[in-house]
Amino acid sequence: MANINDVIKYAVRSEAGRIQRIKAAALKMQTMETYVCTSPDEKTARPGRPTKAEYEAGWRLRKVPYEKVIQHISPRHPDWQRYQAARRQASLLLTARLLLKLGGESVPDLVVVRRALKEGGLASHARNGRARTLSYAAWRYLRKLDNRLQRCPEKFRTVEEWLLGQQHTGREPGKEQVNV
């Protein structure tokens, strides 16, 4: 049976994959060519023409291909709102993860959350004005998630399958890289 810590790890992992897919879908590259001055062993290159001394030493002007970014995720992109929403959700989940660590792998009391906010130990990844709101939202999310886990643990079968998959590959859940 999955616990709240595993559910949050799974949610962070899937949200990170979602952000990566949105960014990758928005990225458009174009292959272009340019002339560069290359050394005789072709390990060093610089822009411009070779000098006479470099030319005699074996440096040559060559046409080389390179990749130029022509489109990426930006406020003008149609998926920008989805990207921003995914980033906000990831921020909420990371704050929830910090709260779980604060509470010893369980939902902490509100008094503990308030004390941690005063000390400035929560939501270090968020803007200063948003840390308080984000921390309380993450705490409410954890309480809801904990209630759902107690009432309907069968709804979290995908998390259990993910955990089993992690155990079969020999990796500890949450320690591996996401390759989407």
**Confidence grade of residue 173 (pLDDT, cut at 50, 70, 90):** low
Query: Which pLDDT score is estimated for 129?
Result: 76
| Residue 175, pLDDT score | 55
State the pLDDT at residue 121.
72
Q: Region 1-25: what's the mean pLDDT?
A: 93
**Mean pLDDT value of segment 42-63:** 90
HEC letters along the chain: CCCHHHHHHHHHHHHHHHHHHHHHHHCEEEEEEEEEEECCCCCCEEECCCCHHHHHHCCEEEEEEEEEEEECCCCCCCCHHHHHHHHHHHHHHHHHHHHHHHCCCCCCCHHHHHHHHHHCCCCCCCCHHHHHHHHHHHHHHHHHHHHHHHHCHHHHHHHHHHHHHHHHCCCCCCCCCCCC
What pLDDT, on a 0 to 100 scale, did the predictor assign at position 174?
54
pLDDT of 178: 47
Task: Give the per-residue pLDDT at 172.
Answer: 60
User: Average pLDDT over the chain, rounded to whole?
Assistant: 88
Indicate whether 179 pLDDT > 70: no
Residue 180: the pLDDT is: 37
pTM: 0.76
pLDDT score at 32:
95
Over residues 67-115, the pLDDT tens digits come to 999 999 999 999 999 999 999 999 999 999 999 999 888 899 999 999 8
pLDDT at 131: 84
